[in-house]
Structure 1
């Protein structure tokens, strides 16, 4: 086959996952409780088909097999996360040696298979004891996180050269403190903004610690789910709505991470509504002096917005949604299984924005993918024929390729995810992987997309 779209040499081909969603062994190996273990124990009814985080995809026991499969399908990089509650049960204090051995084995196995570990420190899984102490609302938890991060750098930094402080830090803010889809199920914007702010302080302090180590070739970044806010029309009211939406959901983390400061417009907006978080002396300098080296971009779907149809109820809790309504564009292309719009050009728009407004920072697509329910119906001769996933990936890669041709500094593409994993409240409802997982036996079976991706990676293009 002739290769029409070649990617730059050394392009990162791989996938991403997270500890709680993939490891399993939730009560083995000396692991402490995190908020997911606790929430599932107290409200199992809120999880799809009552499936909790206990065993998930069992990477904890099957990592050797899985890493071998990664190599087979052309991965040269993979992003797992470290479970804070596994490494330091309770979040502070003694390091759990069984966890150190496990992560050492995983990273060594990856390197032995020429797969570079990209390691994320926090993926929604706050140790329960620290959540009970106030979670990210509490600056002491920020300090505990920085100690945990430093410990990780010390233990694994000789082999791991790409670190990420947080994955989608806005999600615990939205889910845990605004919209009630993550524990602790608080609905309080003021607390939400404090959580968001303190998370960025924790991030900057971890970046500072890492940079102090002066590790050759070492880079530290953050993974943000950037969702372009497209206005319904060019009407000033629609444009204003999309701008405010962008401030809340993208720039609230992107600006401090990459530019080292918050957008003035966002500060003014929060001040006007009495929602500003508490800050400390020196915070501003801390953010300014500790920008990221590398940015991971998670992109799944666009956000389309329009001006509000109705004024917000003055007695309702303050919400970002006071300033815009979601807009369902007629004729949009849909993933009917997940209820999400598919808009491949979004990936290009994000990259152009990074090039024009964020110094063309080195970046990569750290997550992209499509979840499909009841994938078994596409089973043919023992293999899931997921042509829809191949098409989805290829269409996004074409726009990414175009962005690179236009000078965007994009270095790789990781699919969410390597093998079907447990998705928070949705458990195993939607499948995302290159490999399907039998929930009972934990058997892995390659889907059609796995062999297609192996080919793309081998050819460094398609």
Structure 2
């Protein structure tokens, strides 16, 4: 007898398999080095700020680290096999700066180069396109000791590192991302202290780090292009659809401030060559030196924009991060384990917002996914993550709707390939489409991964992709 749960799963699968994706649409999965690789001190790798931060009492909710994580450094072949089994087209991974340059600059660690050589060659042999991210939050501790993102010199060191990576891998890697989510690593790392390096310097810390991070991006873009002339170069922003909690002037002002800090500060700088005037005025006494040439450097032309989207933000007046003075409102609804509202329309809204206001040539959804409680493998050998499976179908349905209306969205990367170390949440809030038993490192593709893989495979045979 078929149960109601079985019927719901069958209906969801049928719905997933009915979605027709644009021709050439890229299906991928994403990871980041610190969360995934492990081998934190092997083969000459240097210490990063996350290696240091995780050892601070109270920094990580379950007192864990990324020292081993998913042990991808040793199990990369298994992980490529997972992607191949799911029929994925692409893999978005980050390079650990400290594997290539243990001190952040200076001598190159050839064993670190060799690891990524093996990974990239393995991906290409499996027919999977590598998308490399240069910075996913793991700043070399040696550079942090010299001021980190508060020090303008870090931007130049980043550009030098970008050239090293491009020279090593650019013969095979053509898709390059400079920075992942500068809003989060600058503000959560320097304003609230939730993330590494753990500074609680408020808006001054967030704005200072953000300017130097954007400068690093702008300096790196031409270095990558000079080294890899046929490269496609972009940056990844974590963006929010922002709504005021009410029509009151105070809530509208708070929403504008929040949206200006998270979205427009970064998008205007890269696409318009200037920071938004209202935010410059708001941050007037908090900003680092912005030199005359900085805006032009930051606005170096890019080939694509990566968008990470997890939720909308409903904002009211509050006291967070003065002078932003906002508070987040949690409307009634369904929430993930990291308290993100599950609101599938947000992906459609953010794609339209970016396309209408900034007009990037290409857009990729570079992260989208949902956190749940830790799951277990059932007696039938399956992991039934129904919430996550539905999440992907709902969000991809909206991506296709945006594409049908002319938004140049070229692909989607699920966050994340496997359960991993989720920053301050440790291992308590898995996002993976593959389950990992962290005692044995055994991988099991979840229901969400099965469904995602079926969409990836079907997209290649649909009439639109013939």
What is the TM-score with the length of structure 2 in the denominator? 0.92
User: What's the CA shift for 1:412?
Assistant: 0.7
Does residue 29 of the first structure (1) align with residue 32 of the second (2)? no
Which of 153, 166, 172 is the aligned partner of 2:185?
Answer: 172
1:292 counterpart residue number: 302
2:346 counterpart residue number: 346
Q: Distance in 1 between matches of 2:58 and 2:208?
A: 29
2:381 counterpart residue number: 382
The DSSP-based 3-state class of the residue aligned with 1:251 is helix
User: What's the CA shift for 1:125?
Assistant: 0.3
1:102 counterpart residue number: 115
User: What's the CA shift for 1:212?
Assistant: 3.0
Q: Distance in 2 between matches of 1:436 and 1:214?
A: 36
1:325 counterpart residue number: 327
Give matches, 1:60-459, under 5 Å. 60-188=73-201, 189-213=203-227, 215-216=229-230, 218-271=231-284, 274-288=285-299, 290-308=300-318, 312=319, 319-322=322-325, 324-329=326-331, 331-335=332-336, 337-376=337-376, 379-459=378-458
Map Cα deviations across residues 333-371 of structure 1 (whole Å, 9 max, x no partner): 323x33221111111111111121112431011111111
CA contact (8 A) 1:222 1:257 kept: no
Unaligned runs of 5+ in 2: 1-13
CA contact (8 A) 2:131 2:175 kept: yes
Q: Distance in 2 between matches of 1:118 and 1:257?
A: 20
The DSSP-based 3-state class of the residue aligned with 1:143 is helix
The DSSP-based 3-state class of the residue aligned with 1:334 is coil
Map Cα deviations across residues 299-324 of structure 1 (whole Å, 9 max, x no partner): 1111111234xxx5xxxx953542x2
Q: Distance in 2 between matches of 1:325 and 1:368?
A: 24
CA contact (8 A) 1:248 1:320 kept: no
Q: CA RMSD in A?
A: 1.8
> Per the alignment, do residues 318 and 45 of structure 1 end up closer, same or farther by CA in structure 2, a change over 3 Å counting?
closer
Q: Distance in 2 between matches of 1:423 and 1:93?
A: 30
Map Cα deviations across residues 48-85 of structure 1 (whole Å, 9 max, x no partner): 33211110000000101110110110110010000001
Unaligned runs of 5+ in 1: none
Q: Distance in 2 between matches of 1:258 and 1:112?
A: 36
CA contact (8 A) 1:371 1:431 kept: yes
The DSSP-based 3-state class of the residue aligned with 2:346 is helix
The DSSP-based 3-state class of the residue aligned with 1:21 is helix
1:57 counterpart residue number: 70
User: What's the CA shift for 1:442?
Assistant: 0.8
Q: Distance in 2 between matches of 1:40 and 1:295?
A: 31
The DSSP-based 3-state class of the residue aligned with 1:80 is strand
Give matches, 1:34-45, under 5 Å. 34-41=48-55, 43-45=56-58
Q: Distance in 1 between matches of 2:142 and 2:301?
A: 30
The DSSP-based 3-state class of the residue aligned with 1:418 is coil
Q: How many pairs were matched up?
A: 446
> Per the alignment, do residues 204 and 72 of structure 1 end up closer, same or farther by CA in structure 2, a change over 3 Å counting?
same
Map Cα deviations across residues 222-242 of structure 1 (whole Å, 9 max, x no partner): 111101111123444332221
Name which of structure 1's ranges 144-153 and 380-389 shifts more when overlaid on structure 2.
380-389
CA contact (8 A) 1:297 1:364 kept: yes
Map Cα deviations across residues 196-226 of structure 1 (whole Å, 9 max, x no partner): 101000000001222334622x211111110
CA contact (8 A) 1:245 1:320 kept: no
Q: Distance in 2 between matches of 1:278 and 1:380?
A: 60
CA contact (8 A) 1:48 1:426 kept: yes
